Amino acid sequence: MLLLSLTLFFSSWHTFVYAGDQSKGENCTVTNNRLEFGTYQFHSDCDVKTYCSSQGTCELKGCRKDQFPFGYAPGDYVPPLCPPGQFCPDESDACQPWLPVGTPCQLNRDDQCEPPPNWQQLADTSKYGRNVNGSVCLNNVCMWANVTVGQPCEVENTAYTAYAGSNEFLDVVSRGNCQIGSYCDSQSLVCIQTKQLDETCDADKECSSFNCLRKGVCGRGSDTPKHFGTLVYAVVGAGIFGGMFATLITLFLIHRRQRDQEREKRLQYWCEQNAFRRSIMQMKEIARTSILSLPGGNGNSNRSTVCSRAGSEESFTPMIQHSVHKSSGLRQQYLSDDNGSSYDEIMMQAGQR
């Protein structure tokens, strides 16, 4: 019950928890140890790592009650947790043995009290923290939460300061020593069976779900999972698959458009290359026609005579010898290369004519 109430203001607890500023070895006053009003957080003159000893100086804490204590940096000395059968008080000076029933305990420190023999049946295993191993500390006295329905009980009402945004209000937490499944009525001080869903209620402790709605009836627990109808699952599933198919179709259309663009580019490149090839062929044809249209192109010129006698080794040899003496080696190689020269091909055709 207390844990549920404290969640309302833990998000801003640093705004109203005042830790001391005296470090190890500095002076302090034990009488300044107190619980802060509204939050009931323990306060002393010493900082979060030390406690005020009876000698009036701050000393390192000898134990801790939290698994992950606040205010420690990596590498700092962290006091140990207490072993089973012992507890760490609010002062955190040293571990102490469990307190028997009827002895004084600190506010809301159910863990300081010795558990009953049948603590497995009485322990609160839920998250509401109504007792610790079947023991409760009510009105600063250790008790066992073993009172059955219809029997007299003890109740403790504590008003905590809670915050909702900038608004401040009181949250009254009512605790009792009734068994789990019942609550202690603040008016009659008798254990009453907890109420079921949709029954009228005045406080959370009256409901088995520990959730009394504003309209005055017991509602579902705050941690109860929400169940939806089959139609909701069908709509969500259709939406998921529809989104998947829409994504696939969109990607297909985008990729097809990209492929069409690439195909258009390749087609344009092919057309340009084909036009370039045709231009070369036209230039070749024009050159051939021009050579044939020269004077003596009918075969009577010296050029045609030489070309026409290209097969005659006697007539071709003097020209080669003459070209060796008159031309460079590069020119001789070009004239003797009959595989890659279009000009030689044209000249040979002209000579044959």
* φ, ψ dihedrals at 52, nearest 5°: -90, 115
Q: Of 193, 227, 260, which marks where a domain is finished?
A: 193
Tokens read off for 263 = 């195909």
CA 61/CA 29 separation, integer angstroms: 16
Q: For residue 292, what pLDDT is reported?
A: 83
Specify if 18 maps to a domain. Answer: yes
Same structural domain, 188 and 322: no
Q: What is the mean pLDDT of residues 71-81?
A: 90
Range from 142-146, 243-247, 276-280 carrying the lowest mean pLDDT: 276-280
Specify if 284 maps to a domain. Answer: no
Specify if 249 maps to a domain. Answer: no
64, 204, 281, 285 from 125: Cα distances, Å: 23, 17, 96, 102
Q: For residue 33, what pLDDT is reported?
A: 93
Q: Which residue has the higher pLDDT, 317 or 149?
A: 149
Q: Which residues contact 243 (CB under 8 A, 6 or more apart)?
A: none
Q: For residue 243, what pLDDT is reported?
A: 94
* pLDDT tens, position by position, 269-309: 999 999 998 999 989 888 888 888 877 655 454 444 444 44
Token pair 């663009």 is found at 261
> Where does residue 186 rank: exposed (0-12), middle (13-18), buried (19+ CB within 10 A)?
middle
CA 351/CA 303 separation, integer angstroms: 8
* pLDDT tens, position by position, 32-68: 999 988 889 999 999 999 999 999 999 999 999 999 8
User: Parallel, antiparallel, or unpaired: how do β-strands 155-164 and 141-144 relate?
Assistant: unpaired
Question: Under a CB-based contact definition with an 8 Å cutoff, are residues 147 and 177 in contact?
Answer: yes
Q: What is the mean pLDDT of residues 300-323?
A: 44
Q: For residue 329, what pLDDT is reported?
A: 42
Specify if 264 maps to a domain. Answer: no
Helix (H, G, I), strand (E, B) or coil at 335: helix
The full DSSP string for 215-284 is TSBB---TTPPP---HHHHHHHHHHHHHHHHHHHHHHHHHHHHHHHHHHHHHHHHHHHHHHHHHHHHHHH
Specify if 93 maps to a domain. Answer: yes
Q: What is the mean pLDDT of residues 149-158?
A: 93
Give long-range contacts, CB 8 A cutoff, 24+ apart: 47-52. Answer: 47/19, 47/20, 47/21, 47/22, 47/23, 47/71, 48/19, 48/72, 49/23, 49/24, 49/76, 50/22, 50/23, 50/24, 51/91, 51/92, 51/93, 52/22, 52/28, 52/91
Specify if 297 maps to a domain. Answer: no
**Residue 162 bridge partners (DSSP):** 169
pLDDT tops 50 at residue 96:
yes
Q: For residue 19, what pLDDT is reported?
A: 63
Q: For residue 110, what pLDDT is reported?
A: 94
Query: Which residues constitute the domain of residue 335?
Result: 303-310+317-353
Q: Of 193, 208, 225, which marks where a domain is finished?
A: 193
* pLDDT tens, position by position, 335-349: 344 444 444 454 455
Count up the domains in the chain and report the number: 2
pLDDT tops 70 at residue 225:
yes
Q: Which residue has the higher pLDDT, 227 or 275?
A: 275
